[in-house]
Chains A and B, each alone.
Chain A
């Protein structure tokens, strides 16, 4: 399996760096079998059957959040809430710690004879910083976990998956019987079942330009 590596920006150093990152995240072009669904009523039993039949679901792409889909696919709960809590108490500690240090140790100022350590007056700022830290931290963590950022580009299985189509992608290995998998997907109600070669990771690029991480797709496909 050989393929040439596409230079996105141009320098040799950058190419090596990119290759290093590529190895780090184990990104690669893989073979998938995809099927489209148009109704949640069909999708849920289909996921159940697919898992029972032993196929590995790479992902299901949906245009809107469908409650219970993560459970049906056997995904574990996200820990984003816990992260948010930790960021929040970091904010609380930062505010209380900093104000205490600034107003009782670093530079004591007498505000109308009130005590230097006047905690009740600090509640508003402490509260605001708690919320600020939690919100900013959570959004950054969310973007990191989902690999979301400006100029991030990813391969998409079907552009309609952000419109009205639920796209199920099955992972395909050397052991997978392709014909059988296609027939199976069709039998559980999937439409337009296809074999697709897609990059699983992300790269820097723009959506108006057709940059790929890997060139010579035909060569790649023939290698399989």
Chain B
């Protein structure tokens, strides 16, 4: 009883079934080594078709300009930036799970972190598309970088939140990618050493960088993971904070609020976890990984959803209170006429947001609902719709009627190319996810093995007699072993 670390029976096991190390490898590598199924091909081709539609939509926009979109004088951001903020928000769950939960020593993260991190990377890739193509003359996109140029050199405005965004998103993408890939190395080496086909030996051989599993390398790997987690924790909070600054530092009623940073971060975690649920509820079923992504994992994430959903709800109410308490008539109008009033042009979107984000997650106060896969899946979709409308409400209802009634906008609806661009990023996201789930292990094999003897079901059963021992004797025994 030296390494068999004691964990109370009260905690449910994180790995179900009778597993040993080899079985873990077999279970997780099986979908990678098997031929892709028919449903995989169908899903992949639908995603690829969406991606193609997205490319066509973007091409239209590049050829004919942003006039292809219905953006106009006051609604200058519309669907485009709504989608940007939505995707960035989704991209927060992966790093939250892998970094913050690593620091908090949450064992359950091991089952879901790999897929969630991959999802993060793909979501940030999708998010990045929107501001880039929104520039219109996209061939000048590199102007956002501070490089020595012939115009002075005229440097970028380091005081601008839009520039902070450039740095925040690109840093976030880079660090998430490094974190994800450094964690993948040992698992790719496992696939390499099991590979039978020539292409697999070559692909995983190249991708695993010659990993051997040496103790010294593991020691450095652990140190690297811990420090990257420590760096990513403030990073993940900073990214959505900075995105919220795009709005909060302006003087537009409805945007000009100090509550935005924490409210955006909570909302990001909320929508990110919803997307993780959407993907994992399906993935665990299709790839037969129910023993690793257990109903416990689903339940814990549903708890996070109800918590963050409620935080978001409080933020909505606080906003309303502050609008009233400020006694500024423009603030009042933005919140009570443009949003809260169901009869105003966009009132429906505000109430849709309220219903999806604040009311519906309350169902997760019930344990039975948290553990129901169908409810979880349905709720995860609802939350994502709600969070999309949150950004839509913030962007459109704040600017379509602001200070000057003479410049109030007509009703803003997107064109087919705006919608196509959005659908295209779904194509990009799911194409990447399908490729990932086919060629990479969707669960961190090494990390599961690391917790197996503490949290595996068959090992936990053996701890029953330890639990019945008297405390003194147990403490004595532990002391001797270390």
Residues A75 and B219 in contact, CB atoms below 8 Å apart? yes
Interface residues of A in 34-82 (CB under 8 A from B): 40-41, 44, 59-66, 68-70, 73, 75, 77-78, 80-81
Between-chain CB contacts (< 8 Å), 30 pairs: A44-B2, A60-B214, A61-B212, A61-B214, A63-B445, A65-B222, A68-B3, A73-B215, A75-B219, A78-B223, A84-B227, A99-B158, A121-B158, A122-B159, A124-B167, A127-B238, A131-B231, A139-B224, A142-B221, A146-B211, A146-B220, A148-B209, A149-B209, A162-B193, A164-B22, A202-B210, A207-B202, A208-B199, A208-B201, A208-B205
Residues B238 and A80 in contact, CB atoms below 8 Å apart? no
Residues B22 and A61 in contact, CB atoms below 8 Å apart? no
**Beyond the given A131-B231, A162-B189, A207-B206, could you list 16 further A-B residue pairs with CB under 8 A, ordered by the A residue number?**
A40-B453, A64-B449, A65-B219, A65-B221, A65-B450, A88-B231, A107-B154, A109-B157, A139-B224, A161-B212, A163-B21, A164-B22, A206-B206, A207-B195, A207-B205, A208-B202
Docked CA distance A146–B168 (Å): 30
Residues B168 and A128 in contact, CB atoms below 8 Å apart? yes
The reply to whether the CB of A30 lies closer than 8 angstroms to some CB of chain B is no
Interface residues of B in 162-182 (CB under 8 A from A): 163-164, 167-168, 171, 174-175, 178-179, 182
The reply to whether the CB of B234 lies closer than 8 angstroms to some CB of chain A is yes
Say how far A171's CB is from chain B's closest CB, in angstroms. Answer: 14
Docked CA distance A147–B205 (Å): 14
Residues A102 and B158 in contact, CB atoms below 8 Å apart? yes
Q: Choose the segment among A152-160, A177-185, A213-221 that binds chain B (4+ C-beta atoms closer than 8 Å).
A: A152-160
Residues of A in contact (CB 8 Å), total 69
Say how far B110's CB is from chain A's closest CB, in angstroms. Answer: 11
Say how far A98's CB is from chain B's closest CB, in angstroms. Answer: 8
Residues of B in contact (CB 8 Å), total 73
For residue A118, which residue of chain B has the nearest CB?
A: B159
For residue B192, which residue of chain A has the nearest CB?
A: A207
Residues B446 and A156 in contact, CB atoms below 8 Å apart? no
Known: A149-B209, A163-B21, A207-B202. A59 touches B215 (CB 8 A): yes
Interface residues of B in 368-409 (CB under 8 A from A): none
Residues A60 and B215 in contact, CB atoms below 8 Å apart? yes
Known: A61-B213, A62-B213, A132-B171. A207 touches B221 (CB 8 A): no
For residue B204, which residue of chain A has the nearest CB?
A: A207
Say how far B417's CB is from chain A's closest CB, in angstroms. Answer: 32
Say how far A87's CB is from chain B's closest CB, in angstroms. Answer: 10
A121 proximity list for chain B (CB < 8 A): 158-159
Q: Which residues of A are interface residues toward B (Cβ below 8 A)?
A: 40-41, 44, 59-66, 68-70, 73, 75, 77-78, 80-81, 84, 88, 98-99, 102-103, 106-107, 109, 111, 114, 118, 121-122, 124-125, 127-129, 131-132, 134-136, 138-139, 142-143, 145-154, 156, 159-164, 202, 206-208
Q: Which residues of B are interface residues toward A (Cβ below 8 A)?
A: 2-4, 20-22, 25, 146, 152-155, 157-159, 161, 163-164, 167-168, 171, 174-175, 178-179, 182, 185-186, 189-190, 192-195, 198-199, 201-202, 204-207, 209-224, 227-228, 231-232, 234-235, 238, 242, 245, 445-447, 449-450, 453
A148 proximity list for chain B (CB < 8 A): 185, 209-211, 217
Say how far A124's CB is from chain B's closest CB, in angstroms. Answer: 4
Known: A59-B214, A124-B238. A152 touches B159 (CB 8 A): no
Docked CA distance A9–B202 (Å): 17
Residues B205 and A163 in contact, CB atoms below 8 Å apart? no
Docked CA distance A195–B4 (Å): 31
Helix, strand, loop or mixed for chain B's interface? helix
For residue B175, which residue of chain A has the nearest CB?
A: A135
Known: A75-B219, A163-B193. A127 touches B234 (CB 8 A): yes
Docked CA distance A76–B59 (Å): 56
Which of B158, B205, B206 is A125 in contact with, Cβ under 8 Å? B158
* Number of A-B contacts defined by CB within 8 Å: 214
Residues A75 and B215 in contact, CB atoms below 8 Å apart? yes
Residues B153 and A107 in contact, CB atoms below 8 Å apart? yes
B231 proximity list for chain A (CB < 8 A): 84, 88, 131, 134-135
B221 proximity list for chain A (CB < 8 A): 65, 142, 146
Say how far A34's CB is from chain B's closest CB, in angstroms. Answer: 13
Docked CA distance A206–B445 (Å): 23
Residues A206 and B205 in contact, CB atoms below 8 Å apart? yes
